[in-house]
Amino acid sequence: MICILIRDFAVTQERCLNPILSTTPLILVQAGQYRPKVIAMDTIARATGVTTGMTAKQSETLCPQAEILYVDEARYERMFMDVTCQLLDATNRIEPEYQATSAVWYTDDTLMVSYLVDAIRRVTEITPQIGIAQTKFPARVAAAVALSGDCITVPNGDETEFLSLYPTSLLPLDKLMTRRLPLLGIHTLGQLAALPRLSVWEQFGKHGRWLHDLAHGKDVRPLSPFKPSLQLREAQDFEEGIVDRLILHNTLEKLSLRLVKGLDGCVAYDITLLLHMKDQSLLEYHRQPHDPIRDALFLLRILTQMLAALPVHCAIQRLEVRLDNIQQRKPIQLSLFEENEPVQKLASVLPTWAYRHRGAQFYRLHLTGDKHLPERIIERQKVVSA
């Protein structure tokens, strides 16, 4: 298994969009929070002691010269998927994984690795780190600890020894284990691996048992190749740049007609409007309308609303509209008289809500029998989006 990783993907993307930031330290913080917390930072800011999870104020104190920006997760994820779609030209044995502002691709196609690295470098202007191992987790750790442009290979059978020195924070720990492992004096993967498997199972349950296996380098997760969803995009370039709203509206009308023609009887659930401005900046608006897009008039109305909501500060050089999440139109039972609303259950609509409002966290709660620890009374189960 080969893991290709770009650390600080979000930071580098911000720098690509705004080249002025290339020399200044950069810190990305949560958007819309009263006390925003640090999500990502560049190497200069990291060297001054800035870490993820600290407040923006704390990071500013540690690194006063840093530029602090709000994260735009949707944009980084879209850029990540764009890169992934370009990599699919080389091989279809790719599994992308977007992890909190860093970009990871797994592949088992050893012949195409050099091509993939070149392609990533060409598109993102960043040299990725590579980790090679028999399974996913050791490869991921190897890539994470490698320097930019380096490749670390973990020999088969040496996974436990290789992983033993690295901290447990590299594991996908849940809240309970994050709190309890340091209390038990377990700080490295080697210390966790040294524990008896049955004891870990008894203490931390199935999840703990799986993490114990990971600490030993045993990762049974197979590579699940990425299948891109159907996407439609239409764009219009303006060489001189344009600010006239009437012309923009007419352009949107043309693009809407072309996109709806391209839908060919299907419906789209996601719309993205991208405005490439004359000063090289990019304005982006993503929406998931309540009703799926199936006609040009409806699409035009939404696009007009989106355009009006964007803070257009200079001339637009390129107008791009994307339709994602395209699906076959679902049949509807027509009723001439009564509007019989379909009976829905809350559990069945929750994944759809979670998908439509991805900024919000939807939880189902479960009462556990254990009353000794406050965090154990209620177990939160995150609703997986549809």
Closest CA to 216 of 197, 236, 242: 197
Q: What is the DSSP string of 7-64?
A: TTHHHHHHHHH-GGGGSS-EEEE-SS-SS-BEEEE-HHHHHTT--TTSBHHHHHHH-T
**Of 56 and 259, which has the nearer Cβ to another protein?**
56
Amino acid 117 reads V
Q: Least separation, in Å, of the C-beta of 54 and another protein?
A: 17
Query: In angstroms, what is the minimal distance from the CB of 30 to another protein?
Result: 7
Q: In what order do the strands lie in the sheet with 38-41?
A: 38-41, 26-29, 67-70
DSSP string for residues in 137-192: HHHHHHHHHSPTT-EEE--TT-HHHHHTTSBGGGS---HHHHHHHHHTT--BHHHH
Length in residues, the chain: 386
Q: Indicate the residue among 221 and 376 with the shorter CB distance to another protein.
A: 376
Task: Give least dist CB 338 to another protein, A.
Answer: 6
Quickly tell me which residue has 């909501």 as its tokens. Answer: 309
Find the shortest distance in angstroms from Cβ 373 to another protein.
Answer: 9
* Order of strands across the sheet that contains 282-287: 232-242, 316-327, 267-277, 282-287
Classify residue 110 by burial, with Cβ atoms within 10 Å: 0-12, 13-18, 19+.
Answer: exposed
* CB nearer to another protein: pick between 240 and 338: 338
Q: How far is the CB of 360 from another protein (least distance, A)?
A: 4
> Which of 76, 238 has the CB closer to another protein?
76
- Rounded to the nearest whole angstrom, what is the least distance from the CB of residue 339 to another protein in the complex? 6
Q: Which two tokens stand for residue 204?
A: 């931390």
Nearer to another protein, 187 or 364 (CB): 364
Smallest distance, another protein to C-beta of residue 383, A: 8
**Which residue lies nearer to another protein by CB, 257 or 383?**
383
Cα–Cα distance between 250 and 200 in angstroms, integer?
A: 64
Residue 195 phi, psi (nearest 5): -75, 150
Pick between residue 231 and residue 288 the one whose CB is nearest to another protein. Answer: 288
Whole-number minimum distance, CB 291 to another protein, in Å? Answer: 11
Residue 175 or 227 having the CB closest to another protein:
175
Place of tokens 């994602």: 324
**What single-letter DSSP state applies at residue 110?**
G
Chain contacts with another protein (rule: CB under 8 A): 30-34, 290, 336-339, 341, 344-346, 349-350, 353, 356-357, 359-367, 371-372, 374, 377-378, 380, 383
Please list the residues that pair with 96 across neighbouring strands: 105
